[in-house]
Amino acid sequence: MSNKGFWLAAIALLLSACNTSTAPNYPAPGGGGGTTTTTSTVSVIASPSSLPPTVPPAAAATSTITATVLAGGLPVADGTVVNFTLSSALFGSLSAASATTVGGDAPVTFTAGSTPGTVTVTATSGTASDITPITLTATPLPGGIQFVSATPGFIALSGSGQNTASTIAFRVTDANAAPAPGIPVTFSKNGPNGGEFLSTTTGTTDLNGDVSVVLNSGTVAGPATVTASASFGGPTPFTASSSTISIGGGVPSAAHFDLLVTRKNLPGLLLSNFHTTFTALLADRFGNYNVLAGTSVSFFTEAGAIDTSNVVDAFGVTTVDFRTQLPAPATVTANASDTTAITLASTYSITAPGFPRRGHVTVLATVRGEEGFADNNANGIFDTGDSVTGFDLGEAFIDENDTGGREAPEVFFNDVGGTTGYDGPNTVWDGPGCTGAAGPPVITCRTSPTIWVKHTIMFTGNITQCGAKPTTINVPADQTQTIKVMVSDDNLNRPVPGTTVSAAISSGGKLLGPASYTIPDGVGPYEGQFVIGEAVPGTPGGAAQLTITVTAGNNEVFVTCASIVLTGTIN
């Protein structure tokens, strides 16, 4: 080959090498002499990348699409063209098919269409390109919001040392009753205005459509509710209110203090160490019992013996054991109720040495708390317009003579803030935060009064008094006759429960109705009755005899009266 041919071939080879770049050549930033060969890159982002579809007449949602073009890691020259395309025009449109760079960035605007779904935006500069997705998520059609729960449904006052917060849950659903996630919800409260507050005033539903807020109590007792409002983007939000959450006083209320006994009638005049159980039930002014766990209740008795105290459980309940023993019931004089029983007994030709109240026993339960009151304005607190009529308590006492009022020398229990003598009802409300009366006269209230409740049981003895009326059988033709029966101990009190009173009649007559009665537990006299008639309707029975027999129950009585035998004629 000649020298000329050699140099021509070399030049051609050099030119070929210069034309093998895989990307456009861009001048180096800042000018300078000559050119360089550099690979470019394109990256594209959408902000935001998630939009709601356009639903007229609402304005269309938009996203800014920004493509960044770099060469050698540096922005390309201003004015570099970037082309943009959509994977489908069904989901929206671009403000321009291309844009030029400024500082390496080229922006266009995507406008959402009306169809939900995902669309891809591709940005291309030269041979370099990148893609970014945009998701069009439909806002749920309005459905509703429901209250789910308040846990717990009662809270104590702030600073009480008990639980003071309740979690209130709501659920938002769409028009298909499916959970609606991502829905903004606002909260508000209504309460006694004692400083109670919500943990937040806004929230967003989770994937299950659920959202919650915490109600914290203040220093004033009363009912409270929480309202939640869910916005679906429309002008009118959907709302729901919680159930009432009770902000409790955290102390027992005398209006919700009860004393029960498993058995009232005990053979205490005959047997010692015979047992029954007393149960005290506590609740606060709103009827909430399970804010009072651990409260101590004290017990006292006129006769026999009882546990001194016990604490209530999570249900506001405590029980104690009572047993018969000395002392016996207090000696009292007859009152009007006794005279009524004595008069009743006389119609059976019964003359007893005693009367019912000589067997009555008063049992007392006490606890620190507050008096009840008539909440006339229904705001859960005692204030102007409310009344203590029917709720006003004096100091606790053992009502030995069963009159309902305290008379000397009945035992009483001085309360904090009282005088050294017995203090009766003071006409003002006593309880935490009470103010008394400014007067005249000035009346000082008790901020932590002892509230109390009593229960009357009965000690009975042998069944010694039995009678029937009328005392002669005289059944008119084709008719019936009612024979009444009274059975009692020497105090005209009914026999122990389980005692039976039964009757049998001779062959000429017939018992119409029960032939036997079982005496139930209770206090006071007992009467029963038997109805007799002809054995064969329309046929005179002639001479007849009715025998009434009393059988003591449960082997708790040693003596029972003799059978009552009535004679006469069934015509």
CATH of the domain at 420: 2.60.40.10
Whether a cis peptide bond, with omega within 30° of 0, leads into 142 is no
pLDDT at 289: 85
Name the token pair of 95.
Answer: 């403000």
For the chain, list residues with pLDDT below 50: 1-35
* Shared domain check, 470 and 453: no
Does a structural domain hold residue 283?
yes
Same domain, residue pair 73 and 118: yes
Residues 377 and 311 in one domain: yes
**Other residues' Cβ atoms within 10 Å of the Cβ of residue 6:** 10
For residue 9, is it within any domain? no
436, 410: one domain: yes
Tell me, yes or no, whether 374 lies in a domain.
yes
76 and 223 together in one domain: no
Structure tokens at 312: 């209530």
Q: How many domains does the chain have?
A: 4
Residues 6+ apart with CB under 8 A from 235: none
Spatial neighbors of 138 by CB under 8 A, at least 6 apart, are 52, 53, 116
Q: What pLDDT shows up at residue 227?
A: 96
Is 20 within a domain?
A: no
Do 306 and 374 belong to one domain? yes
Per-residue pLDDT tens digits for 151-199:
998 888 776 667 889 999 999 998 888 898 888 999 999 988 888 999 9
Write the CA distances from 551 to 200, 498, 516, 556, integer angstroms. Answer: 72, 9, 11, 11
Q: Is residue 492 part of a domain?
A: yes
Last residue in a domain, options 410, 427, 459 = 459
- The per-residue pLDDT for range 507-560, each reduced to its tens digit, is 999 999 999 999 999 998 999 999 999 999 999 989 999 999 999 988 899 999
Q: What 3-state class would DSSP assign to 275? A: strand
C-alpha 492 chain-centroid distance: 46
Same domain flag for 455 and 403? yes
Closest CA to 304 of 261, 252, 336, 240: 261
Clarify whether residues 520 and 543 are in a common domain.
yes
**Entry field: residues in the chain:** 571
Contact assessment for residue 29 and residue 77, using Cβ atoms and an 8 Å cutoff? yes
Q: Which of 136, 163, 194 corresponds to the end of one domain?
A: 136
Q: Is 298 among the domain residues?
A: yes
The model's pTM:
0.64
Residue 209 neighbours by CB under 8 Å, 6+ apart: 171, 172, 173, 178, 179, 180, 181, 183
Question: Does 542 share its domain with 503?
Answer: yes
Domain boundary among 439, 459, 479: 459
Q: What letter does residue 302 receive in the DSSP assignment?
A: S
pLDDT at 424 (0 to 100): 93
Q: Which two tokens stand for residue 383?
A: 């204030």
Residues 306 and 260 in one domain: yes
Please report the pLDDT score of residue 140 as a whole number: 65
Residue 15 burial by Cβ neighbours in a 10 Å radius (0-12, 13-18, 19+):
exposed
Range of 501's domain? 465-570
Closest-CA residue to 460 (of 486, 487, 493): 493
Asked if residue 82 and residue 168 are part of one domain, the reply reads no
Q: Give yes or no: residues 80 and 57 share one domain.
A: yes
Q: Is residue 49 part of a domain?
A: yes
Question: Is residue 23 one of the residues assigned to a domain?
Answer: no
